[in-house]
Structure 1
Amino acid sequence: MSSSYLFEVWTAIQIVMVVGLVLIAIRSRSSEKKKYPPVVGAWMVVRDLVLFKDKVPHRTFYQWAKCYGPVYSVRTGFSSAVVVLNSAKAARQAMTEHHSSITAKNLTTALKVLSLDQTMVALSDYGRDHRLMKKLMVSHLLGTTPQRNNAFMREEMVQKLITSVYLELKEACNDTVNMSKIILDHLFPFALNQVIGKTVEPLYVEELGSEIVSVQDMYNLIVGDPGNAALEINWRDFLPFVNRWFPNKKLRKMLDDVTKRRSALVKALIRQERDLLASGKEWKGYLDMLLKEGEILSERQLETAIWEPVIESTTTSHVAMVWAFFNLAKHPHTQERLYKELEQVCGNKALEEEDLGKLAYLKGIFYETVRRHSPLPLVPLRIVHEDVEIDGYHVPAGWEILINIWGANNYEGEWKNSEEWRPERQLEFPVEEDIYRTMVFGAGNRLCAGWAQAVTIASLVIGRIVQNFELKMPTGHEEDYDTIINTGTHKQHPLFSILTPRNA
């Protein structure tokens, strides 16, 4: 090998090294110009996510925001990080301006299993299947026309609920009523009836080998058990390499069992409806429409299209109503102001849906309640596909975004004295910004399809209860703000209220 050849090789190596160093320097200098989110210290992550793993994560993320600001990052690997957003401004930017760059979701173990691997509209990636499922839901169940056609069902549900309260007071030995149970006893059957198109009846479920008789059992299988399972925190999800090597097998078995039981009931409902249609039943209702569309829906999509709207219609409205009555009972002056507004607008007649647009204070009570007690505190992780800038911070492709809805709705930089429940603050919003009063219903293309129904149902029930009864808090329950553990904001203990009929 000649010396000239060796010299050429060595020269080439030197040139490559110099060019590489120059590129690294340019990239480094370019990176220095970019403003990255503050990084949460590793010790704080270990301390709060591992040692105190019974803490509710949305509150933990909110506490970190007090130290690092509303936008910060948590390292999850050598080159990637999770950027946590704790303000409405930052969350809205991610959901609207940068939607096309942040579309795919990275679900927790619980949500991935329970959503049937992202078949659920609310948890699916934005794509063809998502658009198809959402279109069917909006066009035939939650859109303007189907909601108008279902108004009689909402009115019937509210009437039965009010009647149940009167009967409870008459039959009970005192004037204290379990409002949590009464609301759920009427809200879930309404949500299920709206989907399957008929009153819920006893049903034999072959896969379970038993007859499901009570509505409570159906609620547990479709909403209650999956809802509780979804709240289970698997801290391995925050450390993907650990989750791959050491999966939580016990958690996975529990999730599979809950999913199979829910699927068994839903399949039985589908078979029952198919048999009725085959025997000559008239085609009507959401489930019947879905069966007509059977060729374009997989079995998994058909099942999800039934239980998803039932879950969402039940949980959000139930959380909102329970916490609204809790706060109204605690704040007599607020309750009295609402009663006066109802008197002024409705006179002696019962509140109707047509009146809701004239009741600004009632609307304020609803939105302030879901702000203070966000039904969904955390939005699942989203993967950043392209470099974006959020609230002045550079977020590179490959990182992930976690939106802390609860944190955004309690961020002191946007909500003064955020821990106070004060409906008056909601009166500052113009009507056209209703959907942006809080981050509860999302924004942009991922806006919750059922937000209008949730507002309508909760407002109707709250208004009609206040029209008929004066609420008071039982002694000893005034500070019962406890919520269920982990990622939920449901009230941990049932809401008991002292109700006095106003027409007595």
Structure 2
Amino acid sequence: MLIDEQQEPTVENLARRVHHVLIQGLGEGSKKVEQYVPVFVCNMDRHSDCSSGGLVFIALKSRTSKRKKYPPVVGAWMVVRDLVLFKDKVPHRTFYQWAKCHGPVYSVRTGLTSAVVVLNSAKAARQAMTEHHSSITAKNLTTALKVLSLHQTMVALSHYGRDHRLMKKLMVSHLLGTTPQRNNAFMRKEMVQKLIASMYVELKEACNDTVNMSKIILGHLFPFALNQVIGRTVEPLYVEELGSKVVSLQDMYNLIVGDPANAALEINWRDFIPIVNRWLPNKKLQKMLNDVTRRRSALVRALIHQEKDLLSSGKEPKGYLDMLLKEGEILSERQLETAIWEPVIESTTTSHVAMVWAFFNLAKHPHTQERLYKELEQVCGKKAVEEKDLGKLPYLKGIFYETVRRHSPLPLVPLRIVHEDVEIDGYHVPAGWEILINIWGANNYEGEWKNSEEWKSERQLEFPMEEDIYRTMVFGAGNRLCAGWTQAVTIASLIIGRIVQNFELKMPTGHEEDYDTIINTGTHRLRPLISILTPRNL
């Protein structure tokens, strides 16, 4: 008898019985079974351990080719429930919890789409980004990201091809490369000076010693990012397309950064069932996304037209936009618009997230703050830290990299489609499958980081200064390397150093454990960072 009715009906026994049925059905002399996978569902509570679950699904593939090792599989339809409907709010943490149970590389299935291989270690992520770059080129975006990126015109979200190379080349040559960054050094210095001055003003006007550091930092980062792109100080602007409205800097932030960032988090479950998305689209979501992109485009077009008028009246070409306008017909209108708002978004959001979390941890770890202050005092004396000093301040650099490791500004990157068979970390990934890199998971994977949940800047001192880019997966790797990583490190390090030189930071009572309050797929703090500032005797 195939199934012994008296045998204890455990999950393991059931798996063995079904396997036996499959083998008998195929016949002992038939072609080799390539893969059979008993799939167990982990407890979806991200704070609990992955324990014994129920047997949900058994996948069978039979081929004549040599047996291959596929990534272990995590339960399918539970993924649809908790990720597509976004109940969890922090999918990068759920993926990380599953890695503890199944290992850093595993696969999931969502809806009717192909299998998705999730990478939760730096080793696997770098392998996908470098060795297999040419085999994993296309990106599979959500409905929200497709619309907001103007159908993948955005460099960070576009397919790898001619247009991607052109846009990235222009961005590096005229904005993020060595020469333009050198030319913009004065703008960075001026921005930091204004930021420090505003903190003293805010502290003087406050009824106590507490200030909203999130608001102050953002209030200087965004104008800097915008001015760097436009090439001049941007003032409130009349935008006829928005209904004869004068747009303030705060409105500009909302239109270019805030509103699109919030809209990008909208999850459309139809994305995981393509035929439904094709015939029954989410019209309410489409209307909202179209409105956000329309308003953003209206502002950017107004900025472009204003700059054209200034150039025609004799203004000397100076900023990134001026350089792009000199290129003439090389860019379409859509590409020109994207080239303006994309670097503004990226320069603002990631740097802001990194600095807010850095100051949060410095306020919680006074010994780290004091060690940094002594390093700054030893290298700079009583003078303000400058960009040329950063290479002599390894502990300052360590604080920045430990912060972005622990609080990765962009925890998940868009899905990438595998168009030819590859092997990643010893696992076979067939063409047609998709790759999802969990940056947050890779930067916190216990197999590569000891006591990974601790914020400990000393661990970053183990890396040579010249190997900055290899410290975390935040900036990617190989051809996937973020074009603006040097600017991000420079600005954040400079601001952190200057603020610690001028102020001692403390955490207000009741805010010490305000740690896991993050919004959806990002790692922003849910509430602004409120700190107690005590001016130092300079």
TM-score after normalising by structure 2? 0.87
Correspondent of 1:93 among 127, 131, 134: 127
* 1:404 paired to 2:438: yes
* Deviation of the 1:487 alpha carbon: 1.0
Q: Counterparts in 2 of 1:339-378, with a 5 A limit?
A: 339-378=373-412
Assess if the C-alpha contact under 8 Å between 2:405 and 2:474 holds in 1: yes
* Deviation of the 1:164 alpha carbon: 0.2
* 1:330 paired to 2:364: yes
Range that drifts further, 100-109 or 272-281: 272-281
- Counterparts of 1:327 and 1:380, CA distance in 2: 29
Assess if the C-alpha contact under 8 Å between 1:232 and 1:486 holds in 2: no
**Segments ≥4 residues shifted beyond 6 Å:** 21-27
**Structure 2 stretches lacking a partner, 5+ long:** 1-28, 35-60
Going from structure 1 to structure 2, the CA distance change for 1:322 and 1:295 (only over 3 Å counts) comes to: same
Assess if the C-alpha contact under 8 Å between 2:112 and 2:274 holds in 1: no
Correspondent of 1:64 among 88, 98, 119: 98
- Counterparts of 1:125 and 1:141, CA distance in 2: 22
Going from structure 1 to structure 2, the CA distance change for 1:385 and 1:51 (only over 3 Å counts) comes to: closer
User: What number of residue pairs does the alignment pair up?
Assistant: 484
Assess if the C-alpha contact under 8 Å between 1:113 and 1:256 holds in 2: yes
TM-score after normalising by structure 1? 0.92
SS of the residue 1:389 aligns to: strand
1:4 alignment partner in structure 2: none
- Counterparts of 1:201 and 1:211, CA distance in 2: 14
- Counterparts of 2:358 and 2:153, CA distance in 1: 32
* 1:436 paired to 2:470: yes
1:150 alignment partner in structure 2: 184
1:276 alignment partner in structure 2: 310
- Counterparts of 1:353 and 1:125, CA distance in 2: 35
- Counterparts of 2:371 and 2:238, CA distance in 1: 49
Assess if the C-alpha contact under 8 Å between 1:482 and 1:493 holds in 2: no
Q: Counterparts in 2 of 1:249-264, with a 5 A limit?
A: 249-264=283-298
Counterpart residue identity of residue 399, structure 1: W
Assess if the C-alpha contact under 8 Å between 2:119 and 2:437 holds in 1: yes
* Deviation of the 1:471 alpha carbon: 0.1
1:40 alignment partner in structure 2: 74
Identity across the alignment (%): 90
- Deviations 1:391-426 (Å, cap 9, x if unpaired)? 000000011101111111111111111111111111
SS of the residue 2:78 aligns to: helix
1:303 alignment partner in structure 2: 337
Counterpart residue identity of residue 289, structure 2: L
- Counterparts of 1:453 and 1:224, CA distance in 2: 21
Correspondent of 1:202 among 236, 242, 263: 236
Assess if the C-alpha contact under 8 Å between 2:113 and 2:272 holds in 1: no
Going from structure 1 to structure 2, the CA distance change for 1:173 and 1:96 (only over 3 Å counts) comes to: same
Counterpart residue identity of residue 476, structure 2: G
SS of the residue 2:316 aligns to: coil
- Counterparts of 2:279 and 2:295, CA distance in 1: 28
- Counterparts of 2:99 and 2:514, CA distance in 1: 26
* 1:184 paired to 2:218: yes
* 1:427 paired to 2:457: no
- Counterparts of 1:164 and 1:403, CA distance in 2: 39
Going from structure 1 to structure 2, the CA distance change for 1:494 and 1:188 (only over 3 Å counts) comes to: same
Going from structure 1 to structure 2, the CA distance change for 1:478 and 1:201 (only over 3 Å counts) comes to: same
Assess if the C-alpha contact under 8 Å between 1:328 and 1:335 holds in 2: yes
Assess if the C-alpha contact under 8 Å between 2:32 and 2:64 holds in 1: no
- Deviations 1:20-76 (Å, cap 9, x if unpaired)? x98898993555610000111125324533676243211121122122111111124
Going from structure 1 to structure 2, the CA distance change for 1:175 and 1:116 (only over 3 Å counts) comes to: same
Counterpart residue identity of residue 504, structure 2: E
- Counterparts of 1:488 and 1:204, CA distance in 2: 32
* 1:172 paired to 2:215: no
* Deviation of the 1:82 alpha carbon: 0.7
- Counterparts of 2:272 and 2:441, CA distance in 1: 18
Range that drifts further, 31-40 or 454-463: 31-40
Correspondent of 1:225 among 246, 255, 259: 259
* 1:470 paired to 2:511: no
* Deviation of the 1:284 alpha carbon: 2.2
SS of the residue 1:177 aligns to: strand
The structure that is helix-richer by fraction is: 1
Assess if the C-alpha contact under 8 Å between 2:439 and 2:473 holds in 1: yes
SS of the residue 1:82 aligns to: strand
Going from structure 1 to structure 2, the CA distance change for 1:374 and 1:239 (only over 3 Å counts) comes to: farther
Counterpart residue identity of residue 102, structure 2: Y
- Deviations 1:364-385 (Å, cap 9, x if unpaired)? 1000101111111111010101
- Counterparts of 2:366 and 2:298, CA distance in 1: 46
Assess if the C-alpha contact under 8 Å between 1:320 and 1:369 holds in 2: yes
- Counterparts of 1:79 and 1:476, CA distance in 2: 45
RMSD (Å) for aligned C-alpha atoms: 1.9
1:216 alignment partner in structure 2: 250
**Structure 1 stretches lacking a partner, 5+ long:** 1-20
SS of the residue 1:126 aligns to: coil
Counterpart residue identity of residue 331, structure 2: L
Counterpart residue identity of residue 392, structure 2: K
Assess if the C-alpha contact under 8 Å between 2:77 and 2:109 holds in 1: no
Counterpart residue identity of residue 244, structure 2: S
* Deviation of the 1:78 alpha carbon: 6.9
- Counterparts of 2:144 and 2:113, CA distance in 1: 26
Counterpart residue identity of residue 235, structure 1: W
- Counterparts of 1:78 and 1:43, CA distance in 2: 10
- Deviations 1:194-214 (Å, cap 9, x if unpaired)? 000111112111110133342
Assess if the C-alpha contact under 8 Å between 2:256 and 2:296 holds in 1: yes
- Counterparts of 1:51 and 1:491, CA distance in 2: 22
- Counterparts of 2:444 and 2:64, CA distance in 1: 35
